[in-house]
Amino acid sequence: MATKLDKTLKREIEIEGKAYMVAISPEGVKLTQKGFRKGQELTWQSIVSGESEMRQQLGASVDSTGE
């Protein structure tokens, strides 16, 4: 039986030598560089609907055009 997610869980991870905080909450997931407040955030609804994947693909296409 899985445990219900009813409060925010925070964990530290290291990516390319930099420390980041991952916060998993009932609202979604947030990744923030340690020591900073702003970061990347995804709601569970955007993940389930596929909106987050479309956003990634759009960002990749804009990056590839150099704009």
Q: Which amino acid is located at 13 in the chain?
A: I
Rounded Cα gap, residues 27 and 45, in angstroms: 9
Percent of the chain with pLDDT over 70: 94
Stated pTM of the model: 0.72
Question: Beta strand pairing status for 9-15 and 28-33?
Answer: unpaired
Looking at per-residue pLDDT, the higher value among 64 and 34 belongs to 34
pLDDT digits (tens, 9 = 90+) for 26-58: 999 999 999 999 999 988 988 888 877 777 777
Split at pLDDT 50, 70, 90, the class of 65 is: low
Domain coordinates in residue numbering, the chain:
9-65
Q: What is the pLDDT of residue 34?
A: 95
